[in-house]
Structure 1
Amino acid sequence: MAFAITIKADSSPIEAILTRLNQFDADKSEMFNDIGNDMLNATIMRFKYQRDVDGNPWKVSWRARLQGGETGRNDGHLLNGMSYNVLNNGVEWGANQTYAHVFHYGAHITPKNGQYITFAVAGQYRKVKEVNIPSRTFLGINAEDEATVLDIVGSFIDDYILRGA
């Protein structure tokens, strides 16, 4: 062939992005760590402002009313037991206290034996036929949290894949 034209495309930017995509699975824990940290902080703020996931005020507990304290913050165990775990394909966060689900979902408690439940609140004994603990949701994602997660994912994709950070 006496005459030939060769057209060669510079695919190095595309190849660089594909190489980064191959590494994404190994490096995504950084993104999940950021999400876990932000969702944990959002949960802590719910205790600070005494509000549920949707921003509604929690019903004040007996103990908080009697002692002038805050609901869910008597000894700090529930709040201090909050943590998050980065998983292979996500993140989870919650509380390690055995009563956390009762605080979150609420409960209806009746006596196992006899007619009354007897317990102490703020140094005073109570004798009641039942106890209704209202739901005070603290775990979950609201619209603001969802926007935060999307921002983290978007920034990670932008920094990690597009810019090759």
Structure 2
Amino acid sequence: MAGVSFSLDDKEAQEALAQLERAAANPEGAYHAIGAHFVFSTQRNIEQETAPDGQKWRPLSPRTAAKRIGRGRAARRRGYNHILRVTARLYQSISYGVVPSGVEWGSNLVYARIHQLGGTIDMKPRTGTVSMRNIRKRGNRFVRAGSKGAESRVVQIRGHQVRIPARPFLGISAYDRQAIPEIVADHLRQEAGL
């Protein structure tokens, strides 16, 4: 052979490569780190009321916002603020699971799907009870049940549809696409002891 050549037989480099290979063969730790990242990222989407692609959610309808003016703790989170977070159930239900081929994350709440995808809910006709009281010079007014002088009335509520716009909170954002390779690299460095 004409020219020059060099051969490296470095046991430290071989051992580091072997450790790296063992770490890559068992990615479960990386999957857990990725799952934790996606839980954080999804909760951040809910806090910012933004889809993973960066689009702001549609605001609540005036009727829905008016219903949210409530009592107790809910009174602080009222009106148009805190879409999907009045009770924080959806926010707190976000979790992940490691599967053989990767990570799954989401919510186990039944209503999470309609908030993610949007849709129409058919409300069946039903009966309900309202409390009313005759207020001087104003006529009959709705009052809270059990109010002094209140009279309960049974009313028929017609069937109707409720349309809920899509407010996607699950997905992969541009930030996530940058973070995942970094998470995997950190995991491999830590497992390989580099």
Q: TM-score with structure 2 length normalisation?
A: 0.64
Cα-to-partner distance string for 1:118-151 (whole Å, 9 max, x where unaligned): 99xxx9x985632211101000001111101122
User: For residue 10 of structure 2, what is the aligned residue in structure 1?
Assistant: 11
User: For residue 48 of structure 2, what is the aligned residue in structure 1?
Assistant: 49
**Gap change, CA 1:74 and 1:128, over 3 Å in 2:** farther
Structure 2: how far apart are the matches of 1:25 and 1:160? 11
Structure with higher Rg: it is 2
How far the C-alpha of 1:106 sits from its partner, in A, is 0.5
User: For residue 130 of structure 1, what is the aligned residue in structure 2?
Assistant: 161
Structure 1 stretches of 5 or more lacking a match? 1-6
RMSD: 3.0
Q: 2:84 aligns with which of 48, 63, 72?
A: 72
User: For residue 150 of structure 1, what is the aligned residue in structure 2?
Assistant: 181
**Gap change, CA 1:135 and 1:156, over 3 Å in 2:** same
Residues paired across the two proteins, number: 149
User: For residue 24 of structure 2, what is the aligned residue in structure 1?
Assistant: 24
Q: TM-score with structure 1 length normalisation?
A: 0.74
Cα-to-partner distance string for 1:34-73 (whole Å, 9 max, x where unaligned): 1111111111011111111112221233476122242111
**Gap change, CA 1:103 and 1:118, over 3 Å in 2:** farther
Counterparts of 1:73-92 in structure 2, within 5 Å, are 73-92=85-104
Structure 2 stretches of 5 or more lacking a match? 1-5, 69-78, 129-143, 145-154
Q: Secondary structure at the match of 2:177?
A: helix
1:94 equivalenced with 2:106 (yes/no)? yes
More helix by share: 1
User: For residue 132 of structure 2, what is the aligned residue in structure 1?
Assistant: none
**Gap change, CA 1:9 and 1:94, over 3 Å in 2:** same
More strand by share: 2
**Gap change, CA 1:70 and 1:118, over 3 Å in 2:** farther
Structure 2: how far apart are the matches of 1:86 and 1:92? 6
How far the C-alpha of 1:160 sits from its partner, in A, is 3.9
Structure 1: how far apart are the matches of 2:9 and 2:95? 47
